[in-house]
Amino acid sequence: MTASISCREVRAALFSDRELALFDLREEETFARAHPLFASQLPLDRVEAEIVSRVPRRDALVVIYDEGEGRVGAATDRLRSLGYSRVYTLLGGLRAWRDAGFELFEDVNSYSKAFGELVESIRHTPSFSAEEVRSLIDARADIAILDARRFDEYHTMSIPTGTSVPGAELVLHARAVAPDPSTTLIVNCAGRTRSILGAQSLINAGIPNRVRALRNGTIGWKLAGFTLETGQVRRAPDTSSELADDARRRARAVSYRAGVRRLTSEELSDIAAIEGRTVYRFDVRAPEEYAAGHLHGFVSAPGGQLVQEIDAFAPVRGAQIVLADPLGARADMTASWLAQMGWDAFVLDGGFNGVLERGAGDTIPSRTTAGRYRRPYEGTDHAFDAMRAYLQWEYGLVDQLVRDGTHGFFVI
């Protein structure tokens, strides 16, 4: 007999910070139309490939649901065959959540995007419009445009003159890109979240330059009628040891304000041995640095993307997250955001002096494009109506957080 759990019990677990992985078994495109805030998407045909990486503890509470398509029975059998002992179905599925009047969110990575909107609403993160940035470029003003997305996204299409500096790298590399404190730093992404959090990271860290986000990112640029560059390969230059030390001090002060704690390798072993707790270990450096040498048990999760896609990397809400980075700044800045998003976040001190493993390491196997939701900001063939609708959705996320009431976010 399949055990079930009610919508109210799921919300009670979220309110009480109990560990819970809430999985939507539908395809991503369907999931993107409506789901609870902290739901993670796990299609039925990906259960065996992904569950062990995403839910490392076999006795974690796993709740699954669909919208009446009949996926939960097969998913329950597969999870139990893999050793997951606490698998529950959401009583009534998504329809029960909707009928109870609880909030449903659209799109993917919804709660990180909602958090980004909350940060902007509270901190009033300063920004420039596309028109303002275009004027500055045309005037050859003293600016540096920092693209906070993954390098492959930047390479596909980017703001003219922009340099790739993925999110967690910003505090570490910004001063190498712009040594003169009079240079204005403009942070962009495809839409809003990574540019808001990227710009606010530099502000929180006290970088001496004036900092602005590019309002609405490449979406805003396209809607303004401007052309994006393609195929660019500009990357931030290497950071000197002096600037790296400065970035470490700045980032550590930010993480301290956010309540991030630090631990040694021995202390990590101690907390990992505690029964009933899930501990995620992520290496937040660039993938090529990770492949060159990483700690055993740590998964590659570049910091900016980890914050953006935390629902995919760490679906067990209430778990502990430990971040590693020998230079420090990337782990501290990433942890500062995760802590504000309600995670019990730690930074590992040291640990890189011993024997390191090489190669890709453990990771969530990549997916095909089948059933994938195409984000309105991806690629170069953008539909203007879809981009406008996407921005309107993001603008409404703070109000949705208020109505939902489960998030537990705070902003320093």
The pLDDT of residue 377 is 73
267 burial (CB, 10 Å; 0-12 / 13-18 / 19+) is: middle
Distance, CA of 260 to chain centre: 17
**Which residue intervals of 178-240 are DSSP H helices?**
193-204, 217-223
Sign of the dihedral through C-alpha 329, 333, 339, 343: negative
CA pair distance 2, 211, nearest whole angstrom: 53
The pLDDT of residue 379 is 64
The pLDDT of residue 375 is 76
Identical fold, 115-239 and 244-348:
yes
**Residue 45 gets which letter from DSSP?**
G
The pLDDT of residue 126 is 98
In 204-337, which ranges are E strands?
Answer: 211-214, 261-263, 279-283, 299-300, 316-317, 320-324
CATH domain 1-107 topology:
Oxidized Rhodanese; domain 1 (3.40.250)
What is the CATH class of 115-239? alpha beta
Per-residue pLDDT of the chain (412 residues; tens, 9 = 90+): 679 999 999 999 999 999 999 999 999 999 999 999 999 999 999 999 999 999 999 999 999 999 999 999 999 999 999 999 999 999 999 999 999 999 999 999 999 999 999 999 999 999 999 999 999 999 999 999 999 999 999 999 999 999 999 999 999 999 999 999 999 999 999 999 999 999 999 999 999 999 999 999 999 999 999 999 999 999 999 999 999 999 999 999 999 999 999 999 999 999 999 999 999 999 999 999 999 999 999 999 999 999 999 999 999 999 999 999 999 999 999 999 999 999 999 999 998 998 899 998 877 777 777 767 777 777 666 688 888 988 999 999 999 999 999 999 999 9
The pLDDT of residue 381 is 66
264: nearest Cα among 132, 163, 353: 353
Q: Which amino acid is at 399?
A: D
The tokens of 97 are what?
Answer: 């959540």
Place of tokens 């009583």: 91
The tokens of 17 are what?
Answer: 């910070």
**Which residue intervals of 83-146 are DSSP H helices?**
93-99, 110-123, 130-138
Could you confirm whether domain 244-348 is CATH 3.40.250.10? yes
| Whether 331 contacts 348, CB under 8 Å | yes
The pLDDT of residue 224 is 96
Q: Which residues pair with 35 in a beta bridge?
A: 105
| Whether 181 contacts 164, CB under 8 Å | no
| Whether 190 contacts 153, CB under 8 Å | yes
The pLDDT of residue 366 is 77
Distance, CA of 217 to chain centre: 17
CA pair distance 40, 44, nearest whole angstrom: 13
278: nearest Cα among 54, 25, 23: 54
The pLDDT of residue 363 is 75
Question: Within the chain, what is the greatest distance between any pair of CA atoms?
Answer: 70
Please state the domain extents for the chain.
Answer: 1-107, 115-239, 244-348
